[in-house]
Amino acid sequence: MIQMIYPDRALMAELMAKMLWEIGAVHFNAAQPYRLASGMASPVYIDCRKLLSYPRIRSSIMDFAASSVMRDAGFEAFDCIAGGETAGIPFAALLADRLGLPMIYVRKKPKGHGRNAQIEGHLPQGARVLVIEDLTTAGGSMFTFIDAIRAAGGVVDHGMALFFYGIFPEAQQRFRHGGVKLHHIATWREVLSAAREGKLFDEKTLSEVESFLDAPLEWSARNGGVGALPVA
């Protein structure tokens, strides 16, 4: 029997933010900014893969993910859960188990040998697929997987990111223009709120982080990074 819980959205976001801090998945450093793959300078960095190493937290997060998509998308809205290479794969397996659904995973590029497959697992024509990633900044990598599934005959109207940056207006436009509704649990705003509540950093660091969240590209340019939108 599949058991579900339906906590308040704000409570789920708050709890996930606190969990991320508890396991050391979040880092603030305004004095020595992190350089992201996109070339952006950022005073914040997050590693959602660490969730996998903490079973109680992992289980709670997957409960939140399952309840979020079922409440917002529907109880019989999906035929399959897809995870993107690589971080999305274990979360797809966990969510598929929660929802009692089949699972597939999608490579960033075709395998290059054998069947040259980009999608692993059974994807029936017309299957309604929910794509899940551990996090998304502007949606670029998620649409790599969505486009591959659509090209193979799957239907993708929904995506799930456990953590959504939530600071790039262009990200909302990308999902809207791509015909995908993005579901998520927490954003940087909840993480910053948890840091302030717990007095985890001095006010100068917290203010710099807030400045980044308000205008990330401008903050990056001022601190030696690129001023272009990341694609991940």
Tokens 């188990």 found at: 97
CA distances (Å), origin 23, targets 6, 58, 94, 161, 186:
24, 11, 19, 19, 16
Is the residue at 190 inside a domain?
yes
Using alpha carbons only, give the angle 120, 125, 129 rounded to the nearest 5 degrees. 65
Res 152: pLDDT:
95
Considering the domain boundaries, does residue 214 fall inside one? Answer: yes
Q: Is residue 83 one of the residues assigned to a domain? A: yes
Tell me which residue range forms the domain holding 41. 9-222
In a domain, 37, yes or no: yes
What confidence tens digit (pLDDT) does each residue in 21-35 have? 999 999 999 999 999
Q: Is the pLDDT of residue 88 over 60?
A: yes
| Bridge partners for 159 per DSSP | 131, 182
What value does the mean pLDDT of the chain take?
92
Q: How many domains does the chain have?
A: 1
Residue-level pLDDT at 37: 77
DSSP structural state of residue 224: T
Domain CATH number, residue 120: 3.40.50.2020
Whether 218 is in a domain gets the answer yes
- Predicted confidence (pLDDT) per residue in 148-161, tens digit: 999 999 999 999 99
pLDDT one-digit tens code per residue, 92-146: 999 999 999 999 999 998 876 556 689 999 999 999 999 999 999 988 899 999 9
Residue 181 lies in a domain: yes
- Largest Cα–Cα distance of the chain, in whole Å? 55
Supply the pLDDT for residue 231.
45
